[in-house]
Amino acid sequence: MKTNEIPNGEDSINNFTSISKNNLNLITEILNSEYEPNTNLTEEQQKVDKNTFTQIQNLFKTCIDTDTIDAKGKEPLIKFLKELNINNKEADYT
């Protein structure tokens, strides 16, 4: 109990909590860094790999850009919901 104190805001602690936090930190570090080519891949595979990394990195940066999210407010969500046309009882969602 003395060496494994439960952090504030949590009701328990276990190995998975620690592993999860370490993984989250590692992923965040990777996504905040520059792309590093895998030399085991062909040149074409590296292009695809870099493109995939860049897309994931852009999505990550968009999600953590709280200043822009706050500035836009609820408008993007309202626009998206209108595009879905979910209030149209005639719409076929199959």
* Interval 33-88: pLDDT, tens: 999 999 999 999 999 999 999 999 999 999 999 999 999 999 999 999 888 887 77
Q: How confident is the model at residue 93 (pLDDT cuts 50, 70, 90)?
A: low
Q: 10 lies in a domain? A: no
47 is in which domain, residue-wise? 15-84
* 29 against 93, higher pLDDT: 29
Q: 61 lies in a domain? A: yes
Q: 5 lies in a domain? A: no
Q: 92 lies in a domain? A: no
Q: 94 lies in a domain? A: no
Structural domain count, the chain: 1
How confident is the model at residue 91, as a pLDDT?
66
Q: 50 lies in a domain? A: yes
How confident is the model at residue 1, as a pLDDT?
65
* 91 against 43, higher pLDDT: 43
Contacts of 46 (CB under 8 A, 6+ apart): 37, 38
3 state DSSP class of 24: helix
Q: 71 lies in a domain? A: yes
